[in-house]
């Protein structure tokens, strides 16, 4: 069978009665090629891969191809490095602090936030899309992130229900602003409602990456903004630039909105458009504002 697996054979085995055989074959390939720390298995309703002590949920259909072994081996380090690069360029959550991760995805950044705040801190990982949330929840449970609470919800300017459209790649799942068909309805809440539910008085750091829905989310947290010490909003103008729709062009709203609510802002001059469109802020009522300053975009 070599280093590869035949698509037809995998499709035949990826079902009850065949998955144990498929997992054994893939694990044998991993050992043969020196990836002794990798273990592939199917449990519940999805595939997983374990690398050392860390477990990563996969999908309901087999995607743990041998050509991904090297990426699996580096996955934890990549998660930590990317989280530090994307979200902690100007502010690191303090030990014992509270972080709210809005748009937590499959847990890529949760691990770094969980480590930063320590055992006595709290991470609230919020993800709206149902299938993505399932992976996030599994990731936190199986890796023992006891200081992390997962919550399925969309943030908006009012409570209710909101419709999402599923993209080809889960990272681009977004609120349906065009009134299309076949969307997925999820709960929508304001940040104030979520803080009340979870008994959160102050937020040390709020990270937001929600694919163009940041305007509605920010409008719904006016009452909470004075209690947020630091924030990073990932705007999505780059998606508007590439033709995904003008609803993704949010930076011109986010920048003056945060300034008007007492945040000193910082921006990154970066060739990566998704980094360039990030807006970092520290509330002027916090001592940390001295370290972030205020610069023009």
DSSP 254-268: HHHHHHHTTEEEE--
Indicate whether 146 and 167 sit together in one domain. Answer: yes
Q: Report, as an integer, the average pLDDT of 159-175.
A: 62
**Through-space distance between the first and last CA atoms of the chain, rounded to whole angstroms:** 54
Cα separation, 150 vs 107, in Å, equals: 10
Query: Using one digit for the tens of pLDDT, what is the confidence trace for 227-284?
Result: 999 999 999 999 999 999 999 999 999 999 999 999 999 999 999 999 999 999 999 9
Indicate whether 249 and 230 sit together in one domain. Answer: yes
Residue 197 in 3-state DSSP?
Answer: helix
Cα separation, 174 vs 269, in Å, equals: 26
Domain edge (last residue) among 40, 58, 73:
73
- Which residue shows structure tokens 């498929």? 22
Indicate whether 161 and 286 sit together in one domain. Answer: yes
Domain edge (last residue) among 20, 49, 73:
73
Domain edge (last residue) among 31, 49, 73:
73
Asked whether residue 2 is assigned to any structural domain, the reply reads no
Residue whose C-alpha is closest to residue 142's, from 23, 72, 57: 57
Indicate whether 121 and 227 sit together in one domain. Answer: yes
Indicate whether 19 and 103 sit together in one domain. Answer: no
Instruction: Domain count for the chain, please give it.
Output: 2
Mean pLDDT of the chain: 90
Measured in residues, the chain has a length of: 297
What domain range is 111 assigned to? 78-292
The tokens for 200 are 């959160």
CA dist list (Å): 224 to 113, 203, 208, 218? 21, 9, 14, 10
Q: pTM for this structure?
A: 0.88
Query: Using one digit for the tens of pLDDT, what is the confidence trace for 6-40?
Result: 888 898 999 999 999 999 999 999 999 999 999 99
């Amino acid at each position: 069978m070599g280093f590869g697996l035949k698509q037809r054979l995998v499709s035949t085995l990826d079902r009850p009665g065949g998955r144990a055989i498929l997992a054994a074959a893939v694990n044998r390939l991993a050992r043969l090629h020196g990836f002794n720390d990798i273990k592939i298995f199917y449990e519940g309703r999805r595939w997983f891969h374990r690398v050392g002590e860390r477990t990563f949920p996969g999908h309901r259909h087999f995607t743990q191809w041998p050509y991904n072994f090297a990426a699996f081996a580096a996955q934890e380090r990549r998660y930590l490095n990317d989280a530090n690069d994307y979200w902690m360029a100007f502010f690191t959550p303090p030990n014992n602090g509270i972080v709210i991760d809005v748009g937590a995805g499959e847990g890529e950044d949760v691990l770094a936030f969980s480590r930063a705040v320590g055992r006595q801190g709290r991470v609230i990982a919020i993800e709206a899309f149902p299938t993505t949330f399932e992976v996030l929840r599994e990731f936190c449970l199986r890796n023992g992130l006891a200081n992390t609470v997962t919550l399925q919800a969309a943030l908006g300017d009012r409570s209710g229900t909101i419709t999402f459209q599923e993209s080809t790649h889960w990272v681009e799942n977004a609120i349906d602003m065009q009134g299309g068909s076949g969307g997925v309805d999820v709960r929508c809440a304001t940040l104030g409602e979520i803080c009340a539910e979870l008994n959160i008085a102050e937020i040390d750091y709020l990270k937001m990456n929600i694919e163009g829905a940041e305007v509605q989310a920010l409008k719904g947290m006016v009452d909470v903004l004075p209690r947020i010490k630091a924030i990073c909003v990932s705007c999505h103008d780059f998606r508007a630039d590439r033709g995904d729709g003008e609803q993704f062009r949010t930076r011109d709203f986010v920048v003056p909105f945060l300034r008007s609510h007492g945040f000193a802002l910082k921006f990154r001059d970066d060739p990566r458009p998704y980094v360039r469109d990030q807006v970092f802020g520290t509330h002027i009522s916090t001592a940390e504002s001295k370290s972030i300053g205020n610069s023009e975009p």
